[in-house]
Structure 1
């Protein structure tokens, strides 16, 4: 597998990107990947990318502005609007790469970015296929899983951040915590599942600008599902307490060329071990049917 450093710019800021190529391939289909809420491409995505490359696909992975190896200030700013801008910039960049076949471009997103790829595909209209893994499709559905007391505290933190940003004093909250702790994700599966994704020495901090908690309930990319022309695979987890599977299933039902798979898993198990093997098998089967290598 060949790895090529391939940065691009989004809104004038340099974003880190990596192009992975299968050996001896001539302009293979390309899968563009980015992570979910507050995560970086080094956190579990390479396991998927390696299997895609082994099957003959090129893969382009990138970090959002303000995260991982990308530039951008302030750091740790999760924002649907900014993330969608980064997705659009990444696609412009990938479509110019001579090593890949941009007419066979696949969007891959997980959790928060699982929603981003649905909205991006709806607005782009030229992608070949989409994979949305345990996707965030409904802000209200995701927020409904957060205890009311935590919602109130996170909303206060968001207002504090908005006010503080006016005088250069942003306020941060934790991305992930253990049950009972105040964080964006603190369900029973969240701490162990999220932290298990990060390799030792990863450039990541457990914090996010709190202003996201004002945006999160309003961000429902599933409403764009009916406008996604490309074949789309939605994979959900039956015991997912972060992004409810029923919301994902409803969004999948509105996709003109949608397929829905329900794993017997929580939100994080599809990234690892036996559930990863089942999950990646479903995704490779979908790709081989909809965007076959060498076609």
Structure 2
């Protein structure tokens, strides 16, 4: 496996990114990947990417503006609009690289970015396939999980942030918290699971600009699901209290060519490589990729695999 720093520009700011290539084969299909709510590419994405690369695919992992190794201030700014702009810029960058086959481009997202890839594919029909793991598809479905008194506190924090931004005194709220805390993601699953995604020594802060609390209720990629032309896989968790499987299933029914895979586990267990839920999820993803995208025959011959390359045709 070969890893290359391959950053790109999004609206005048640099997004840090890594291109991971299989050591054998030429111009493999490429899977563009970015993380969920407030997370950085170092937080567990490599566990998925390494499995994809081992099968002959290229993986391209990037950090959104204002996060991780990317440029942008103020920091820790989660915004669906800005994230979608970064996805579009990442696609444009990948389309210009000779190392990968841009005609076989896959979008991969999880949690918040699971919604981003659905909405991006709805607008860009160059995308060959989509994988959305435990996706955020409905702002209302996600907000229903939050008690009313906490919703009120979130709205007040958001207004404080917007007012403070005028004089560059932004207001931040926690990303994760325990039950009853005022945070974007709460409960034992979030408190313990999110932390397990972060490698030791990772420079990550548990905070996000509070203005996001005004955007989440209005962000519902399910509204665009019927426009997705690419084959799509949605993977959901049976015990997910953050992005409910019921909402993910509704989204799958609106996408013309969609497979829905339900995994026994909660929101974060699907991300953790030492959990059975991860094994179930990645197995479904690899099977989907091999059916709908396929690795070029030259990569398979050189690696000595006894598999037949997929045709890459759409269903």
The TM-score bracket by the shorter chain reads: over 0.9
Partner in structure 1 of residue 173 of structure 2: 173
Partner in structure 2 of residue 285 of structure 1: 287
Mapped partners of 2:207, 2:50: distance in 1: 28
Q: CA contact under 8 A between 1:107 and 1:130: conserved in structure 2?
A: yes
Secondary structure of the residue aligned to 1:205 is: coil
Partner in structure 2 of residue 28 of structure 1: 28
Mapped partners of 1:266, 1:199: distance in 2: 20
Q: CA contact under 8 A between 1:108 and 1:114: conserved in structure 2?
A: yes
Partner in structure 2 of residue 242 of structure 1: 242
Q: CA deviation at 1:187?
A: 2.2
Q: CA deviation at 1:101?
A: 0.2
Partner in structure 1 of residue 100 of structure 2: 100
Q: CA deviation at 1:168?
A: 1.1
User: Any residues of structure 2 matched to 1:21-170 within 5 Å, and which?
Assistant: 21-170=21-170
Mapped partners of 1:240, 1:284: distance in 2: 22
Mapped partners of 1:271, 1:119: distance in 2: 22
How much is the aligned-residue C-alpha RMSD, in angstroms?
0.7
Query: What is the count of residue pairs matched by the alignment?
Result: 295
Q: CA offsets per residue over residues 222-253 of structure 1, 9 Å max, x none?
A: 11110000000000111100001111000000
Q: CA offsets per residue over residues 117-169 of structure 1, 9 Å max, x none?
A: 00000001111100000000000000000111111111100000000001111
Mapped partners of 2:203, 2:220: distance in 1: 29
Decide which structure has the larger Cα Rg and report it: 2
Q: CA offsets per residue over residues 15-62 of structure 1, 9 Å max, x none?
A: 101000001220000000000000000101000000000000000000
Q: CA contact under 8 A between 1:111 and 1:243: conserved in structure 2?
A: yes
Runs of 4+ residues over 3 Å off in structure 1: none
Q: CA contact under 8 A between 1:187 and 1:242: conserved in structure 2?
A: no
Mapped partners of 1:257, 1:243: distance in 2: 21
Q: CA offsets per residue over residues 187-206 of structure 1, 9 Å max, x none?
A: 23111011100001112110
- TM-score (normalizing by structure 2): 0.93
Secondary structure of the residue aligned to 1:196 is: helix
Q: CA offsets per residue over residues 40-94 of structure 1, 9 Å max, x none?
A: 0010100000000000000000000000000101100000000000000000001
Q: CA contact under 8 A between 1:18 and 1:60: conserved in structure 2?
A: yes
Partner in structure 1 of residue 213 of structure 2: 213
